Chain A
Amino acid sequence: MAQHAAKGARFQAVTANRLSDGEVVYWSADNRWVEGFTEAEIADGADAADALLARAMPADFEAHVLEPYLFEVLEDGSFYKPASVRETIRAAGPTVRLDLGKQAGA
């Protein structure tokens, strides 16, 4: 499985791509896949992250999404943001086409 969080990362969230169209999705606190990063559940600590990933991967997860994984997020004031450029781009869309991806509807 892909590693997208540094060892010792405190805050993490779970992301995947939706099976039907490849859309980037996040596991939310109400146990469903959502399109917006702001709705993602944030796990605090390694044990909470492992538990979050386990909840996101029930037996039938492959009927809905591809390759769920944990990624690191950072506190940004009272909000959170993805730690890496990669996850920042996945959460928004191509930086060279601001009319496309999630950022287009923001």
Chain B
Amino acid sequence: MYRYDEFDHQLVADRVSQFRGQVERRVSGALTEDQFKPLRLMNGVYLQLHAYMLRVAIPYGTLRSEQMRMLAHIARKYDRGYSHFTTRQNIQYNWPALDKIPDLLDELATVEMHAIQTSGNCIRNVTSDQYAGAIADEVEDPRIISEIIRQWSTFHPEFTYLPRKFKIAVTGHENDRAAIKLHDIGIVVKQNSAGEIGYEVHVGGGQGRTPFVAKKMTDFVPKEKLLAYLEAVMRVYNMLGRRDNSYKARIKILVHETGQEEMQRLVEAEFAKIDASDMLTVPQEEIDRISAYFAPPAFETLPAESETFTQAQAADADVARFVRANVVAHKQAGYAIVNISLKPIGGVPGDATDTQMDVIADLAENHSLDEVRVTHEQNLVLPHVKLDDVKAVYDALAAHELATANLGLISDQIACPGLDYCNLANARSIPLAQEISERFADLDRQYDIGELKIKISGCINACGHHHVGHIGILGVDKKGTEFYQISLGGAADENAAIGQITGRAFTEEDIVDAIETVVTTYTDLRADGERFIDTYNRLGMAPFKERLYD
């Protein structure tokens, strides 16, 4: 994993010191809220319904055990004993006091963490595949280029005041787990016929009130040229992106209104200029230096099969279920990727207590080569667990309500904080997720339904990714009352698609029944082996709409 050098340490320390002064001046009255608000937002501090909220960056979703332990400590000392993992692989604290946040940030800095690039109209924290470096058939660990992008983008003076926020995601695998086509820039690591590593770049994806799947800008940019290419995209956006209307300011609108071909021409022209200067060609020694941080950890040489692992499943049906749903094959013989669902039945999606985070930190240290990953679907991952250790890991997770065997199933829902916390929300998301998971609590029923991704947003800003849920749910406000609109057929993977709205919205009382109607329509009509999304893609909206509204 990447470790801070002296420049990183100084940069973060200076930023915390600067923010401490800004907070002191705000509290003393020397700064007005209009003056202070953009400064606090640049440090991840929002004002929500009940309190301030602090969003902490987790670059490309990777954590060391000491970092997870610090996140637990902060939840305990500065918050209310819990925190919330977000759809951008970050973590949010819901109740910090403003005047204590500088102290909190000082403590975070001791484990090389901060809240930079978690808000404001800058290039945000880079996200990536939670299975990076662990999954088979990866072209290259996507965290290498993600870290290079992080270093290039942090405090980039030209891109600190963009028309709007800007999000970049990277995958190094053909199976996209990072939703790269729903980002301002989505990057796929590729290998060309000469065996060289480069990048396919997609631009103009996003959700919010105007959702778009990103358009491919180029098939292959050589590794050392990617920053020059990204800088070209950013310059075109910075020059032409709208600043007169925040609803039309994202690059997705520019790409849509300019057209894919013209956008490609503009980017290529800018790229040619930057490339000619050679200013942003990444030196090979720097690529090698960053790559070394992501060299494979010290895996033991183990047999591919584990008798201990096999026997544990045979002896305990709960372990077998956990393995079936939450354990994924590892590229290294004798190891497994263990997913930790933060979606217990009736729980709050993405929330974890300080105690749970400490338990996960211990498991990472003792059983996962010191690593934890955060997923954009609001779960956690122990990426490098020996097959021999899976049972012990399961037991520890189960003892702390962390062993729900529902990954990718109907109860593994994304839900934004919604109107229970969020200042922008129109409706609650979490209670709906809780009711749906309770309605479908029976795991056998969930396994029968199979892969089904429900995603819930409490407003059109779409933090809950409702546009790309197989079943998406959007909360809307009608004269102070909550209603819920359903969409079907969305997808966030390599076959990214925006869901289609079924029709009129449902009341809070009726929405869970409506979701069950959609699910039973699928189970009634599916062909052998079809997942929900396959059935929807084959049959379209009509049969679902008929059952929902007739």
Residues of B whose CB lies within 8 Å of any CB of A are 26-27, 29, 32-33, 47-52, 80, 95, 97-99, 348, 419-421, 425, 427-428, 430-431, 434, 477, 479-482
Contact = CB atoms under 8 A, between A and B. Distances in A.
Given A6-B479, A85-B428, A19 B26 contact: yes
Contact of B421 (A66, A67, A94): A94
Contact of B98 (A20, A93, A97): A20
A83 B419 CA distance: 15
A90 B480 contact: no
A22 B98 contact: yes
Given A6-B479, A20-B99, A21-B98, A85 B419 contact: yes
B420 A89 contact: yes
A84 interface: yes
B29 A21 contact: no
A86 B80 CA distance: 22
B33 A84 contact: no
A24 interface: yes
Given A89-B420, A94-B420, A96-B420, A20 B27 contact: yes
Given A20-B98, A66-B33, A90 B420 contact: no
12 contacts: A6-B479, A19-B26, A19-B98, A21-B51, A62-B32, A67-B33, A85-B427, A85-B477, A89-B419, A93-B50, A100-B95, A101-B50
Contacts of B428: 85, 89, 95-96
Given A95-B428, A100-B95, 14 more contacts: A17-B47, A20-B97, A20-B98, A21-B97, A22-B48, A24-B49, A60-B29, A62-B33, A66-B47, A85-B419, A89-B419, A95-B420, A96-B420, A101-B50
B29 A86 contact: no
B480 A86 contact: yes
B391 to A, nearest CB: 33
Nearest to A93: B50
A78 to B, nearest CB: 22
A84 B480 contact: yes
A85 B482 contact: yes
Contacts of A19: 26-27, 98
Which 4 A-B pairs have CB atoms at the shortest separation, nearest pair first? A84-B480, A22-B51, A94-B420, A21-B97
Interface in A43-73: 60, 62-63, 66-67, 72
B480 A23 contact: no
A95 B49 CA distance: 12
Contacts of B479: 6
